[in-house]
Chain A
Amino acid sequence: MDPLLTLSHISYSYHDLNGETTALSDISFSLEEGRFLAIVGPSGCGKSTLLSLICGLLEPSEGEIALNGLPLKQASANIGYMLQKDHLFEWRTIYSNVTLGLEIQHRLNEHTRKNVDDMLETYGLSSFRDSRPSQLSGGMRQRAALIRTLALEPDLLLLDEPFSALDYQTRLSVCDDIFGIIKKEQKTAILVTHDLSEAISMADEVLVLSRRPGRVQKKQPIHFEMEERTPLRCRNAPEFKDYFNLIWKELNSNV
């Protein structure tokens, strides 16, 4: 089977008055459907830029991105992007916040509405339909933001440090929460994070990027011997420590 997403020899430079900066250099990897990839690397290595490229917000300076074997622009596949903060709009209710994407793409119809209703119900937000975002806890807001992304029925989900704005305790439970939702909806996902434990506990594979210009330094498959995998259980598994040390060493090898 063809991989869902393929990046071949992607480079990206940006320009300002002080000159040209190469943010990413010669990045290649592919991702199969249903897999969960985490990208880690030192800050400023271009992790978020990589997501913007995959999402089509930026154009690579060199290289090709293909979705389902087609170049990004021709691919009909939908990509969902989840930003660091939830950015729920205070002037909208939770319901009109989660349907914002559908509204923009003019896809609000019976089917999509039902889908949203089901997700709100399943993920415990249906009683907050008409609430304002400020009435929700940090975890609930993040869940609402995920539903907003999932409402568009994306084939690929991009997560840009979605938990970094939360405090540690909330973070662990929201991480479990979001992971559960992604697995239940059988989504392919790419998570960008600077938190190694988060990456290892959630991903099937961890991609380590080097310092700027970011290159693929290592691809580390992750496998846990357990039946129902959750991030929190992974953190307690014996393999966790080994993976952590392995990737930690890799990250620090070229400082």
Chain B
Amino acid sequence: MSEISLAQQSFLEEKKRQRNWVRAARILLFLLFLVLWEGAARTHLIDAFIFSSPSRVYNTFVGMLLDKSIFLHVGSTLMETLVSFLLVILLSLLAAVLLWLCPLLSKVLDPYLVILNSLPKSALAPLLIVWLGANQKTIVVAGMSVAIFGSILTIYTGFSQVDTEKIKLIYTLGGTRRDVLGKVVLPSSVPILLNTMKVNIGLCLVGVVIGEFIGSRQGLGYLIIYGSQVFKLDWVIMSIVLLCIMALVLYSLLQVLERRCQRHV
């Protein structure tokens, strides 16, 4: 690229302007929302006791930052989410490989997986508490339960959609079914795996919060439930804001990972 023509230059500038405009509009929208919220609370258009306000959320956050209790809550929710996310990825990958290796097994299990996948997992949470007790293990299992069945189905579908000619190639080169798995099926499923991860991180967070609602003494889910019971709605709204930020950060991290993988392919 030595010389860029004028037309190309103006095209690039136009694109850049558009990008900047979108970014600015996003930030403005956010600020507008904050200003309206704060303004409505200050002028008593809405009841700040129930709807809170940005400044109250901020003060609550700083307060909990100072007494360090926020680290406990954010830390345990984050930890539980990460653990259940990693377990979901590992287990669903293993399960999908197993299903791929035994097509008969996958035929037998298919309806069960579909039912378990569509089951509202919040229905399981009370049972899990009774079975496993009110501890972090239960929360992790609750987080996993939301994501794992869909994850198995998606990864397995990805496996079975691998080009049959590519599989034939491995056989013509004298390979076995294990070579097919290792040389074609797994590598070509990397994009699907990354996509599943992006979906799963959100689902695990949902499951963990559901679990914390019912059986926990710490975590943002606990803070939401406890806050609503004692009418400390500043806690509730601050926790929701923190959950939003957490979801955003986790998702962005996976996006970075995805981009790095794509560069390698």
Check A104 against B172 for contact (C-beta < 8 Å): no
Q: Among the interface residues B168, B172, B174, B264, which one has the most CB atoms of the partner chain A within 10 A?
A: B172
Check A104 against B184 for contact (C-beta < 8 Å): no
Q: A57-B171, A91-B187 are in contact. Are A104 and B179 (CB under 8 A)?
A: yes
Q: Please report the C-alpha to C-alpha distance between residue A100 and residue B169 in the assembled complex, in whole angstroms.
A: 10
Which residues of the partner chain B approach A87 to less than 8 Å between Cβ atoms?
Answer: 163, 165-166, 169
Question: Which residue of B173, B188, B264, B265 is within 8 Å of A105 (Cβ)?
Answer: B173
Q: Is B63 an interface residue, CB under 8 A from the partner? A: no
Which residues of the partner chain A approach B175 to less than 8 Å between Cβ atoms?
Answer: 104
Check B184 against A101 for contact (C-beta < 8 Å): no
Which residues of the partner chain B approach A84 to less than 8 Å between Cβ atoms?
Answer: 165
In the complex, the chain B residue whose C-beta lies closest to that of A107 is B174
User: In residues 69-121 of chain A, which contact B (Cβ within 8 Å)?
Assistant: 80-81, 83-85, 87, 89-91, 100-101, 103-105
Check A81 against B183 for contact (C-beta < 8 Å): no
Which residues of the partner chain A approach B190 to less than 8 Å between Cβ atoms?
Answer: 91
Which residues of the partner chain A approach B173 to less than 8 Å between Cβ atoms?
Answer: 100-101, 104-105, 148, 152
Check B184 against A89 for contact (C-beta < 8 Å): yes
Q: Is B170 an interface residue, CB under 8 A from the partner? A: yes
Q: Among the interface residues B163, B171, B174, B184, which one has the most CB atoms of the partner chain A within 10 A?
A: B174
Check B170 against A104 for contact (C-beta < 8 Å): yes
Q: Please report the C-alpha to C-alpha distance between residue A80 and residue B172 in the assembled complex, in whole angstroms.
A: 7
Question: Which residue of B174, B264, B265 is within 8 Å of A101 (Cβ)?
Answer: B174
Which residues of the partner chain B approach A104 to less than 8 Å between Cβ atoms?
Answer: 170, 173-175, 179, 183
Check B179 against A55 for contact (C-beta < 8 Å): no
Check B265 against A81 for contact (C-beta < 8 Å): no
Q: A104-B179, A104-B183 are in contact. Are A57 and B168 (CB under 8 A)?
A: yes
- Chain B nearest Cβ from A59, distance in angstroms: 14
Question: Which residue of B172, B174, B179, B187 is within 8 Å of A89 (Cβ)?
Answer: B187
Which residues of the partner chain B approach A85 to less than 8 Å between Cβ atoms?
Answer: 165
In the complex, the chain A residue whose C-beta lies closest to that of B190 is A91
In the complex, the chain B residue whose C-beta lies closest to that of A158 is B172
- Chain A nearest Cβ from B139, distance in angstroms: 37
Q: Please report the C-alpha to C-alpha distance between residue A57 and residue B174 in the assembled complex, in whole angstroms.
A: 10
Which residues of the partner chain B approach A132 to less than 8 Å between Cβ atoms?
Answer: 265
- Chain B nearest Cβ from A88, distance in angstroms: 10
Q: A89-B184, A90-B265, A91-B190 are in contact. Are A57 and B165 (CB under 8 A)?
A: no
Which residues of the partner chain A approach B184 to less than 8 Å between Cβ atoms?
Answer: 89
Which residues of the partner chain B approach A90 to less than 8 Å between Cβ atoms?
Answer: 265
Task: Tally chain A residues at the interface, Cβ within 8 Å.
Answer: 19
Check B165 against A55 for contact (C-beta < 8 Å): no
Check A55 against B170 for contact (C-beta < 8 Å): no
Which residues of the partner chain B approach A57 to less than 8 Å between Cβ atoms?
Answer: 168, 171-172
Check B187 against A83 for contact (C-beta < 8 Å): no
Q: A91-B265, A104-B173, A104-B183 are in contact. Are A83 and B188 (CB under 8 A)?
A: no
Check B172 against A55 for contact (C-beta < 8 Å): yes
Which residues of the partner chain B approach A80 to less than 8 Å between Cβ atoms?
Answer: 172
Which residues of the partner chain B approach A81 to less than 8 Å between Cβ atoms?
Answer: 172
In the complex, the chain A residue whose C-beta lies closest to that of B168 is A83
In the complex, the chain B residue whose C-beta lies closest to that of A134 is B265
In the complex, the chain A residue whose C-beta lies closest to that of B176 is A104
Q: Please report the C-alpha to C-alpha distance between residue A84 and residue B190 in the assembled complex, in whole angstroms.
A: 25
Which residues of the partner chain A approach B172 to less than 8 Å between Cβ atoms?
Answer: 55, 57, 80-81, 83
User: In residues 172-221 of chain B, which contact A (Cβ within 8 Å)?
Assistant: 172-175, 179, 183-184, 187-188, 190
- Chain A nearest Cβ from B198, distance in angstroms: 20
Which residues of the partner chain B approach A105 to less than 8 Å between Cβ atoms?
Answer: 173-174
Check B165 against A83 for contact (C-beta < 8 Å): yes
Q: Please report the C-alpha to C-alpha distance between residue A162 and residue B172 in the assembled complex, in whole angstroms.
A: 15
Q: Please report the C-alpha to C-alpha distance between residue A100 and residue B187 in the assembled complex, in whole angstroms.
A: 14
- Chain B nearest Cβ from A239, distance in angstroms: 34
In the complex, the chain B residue whose C-beta lies closest to that of A84 is B165
Q: A91-B190, A100-B183, A104-B170 are in contact. List 20 more A-B contacts (CB 8 A).
A: A55-B172, A57-B168, A57-B172, A81-B172, A83-B165, A83-B169, A84-B165, A87-B163, A87-B169, A89-B183, A89-B188, A90-B265, A91-B187, A91-B264, A91-B265, A101-B174, A103-B183, A105-B174, A132-B265, A152-B173
The 7 A-B pairs at the shortest CB distance, nearest first, are namely: A81-B172, A101-B173, A104-B175, A91-B187, A87-B169, A105-B174, A104-B179
A-B pairs with beta carbons under 8 Å apart, 27 shown: A57-B171, A57-B172, A80-B172, A83-B169, A84-B165, A87-B163, A87-B165, A87-B166, A89-B166, A89-B187, A89-B188, A91-B188, A91-B190, A91-B264, A91-B265, A100-B173, A100-B183, A101-B174, A104-B174, A104-B175, A104-B179, A105-B173, A105-B174, A132-B265, A148-B173, A152-B173, A152-B174
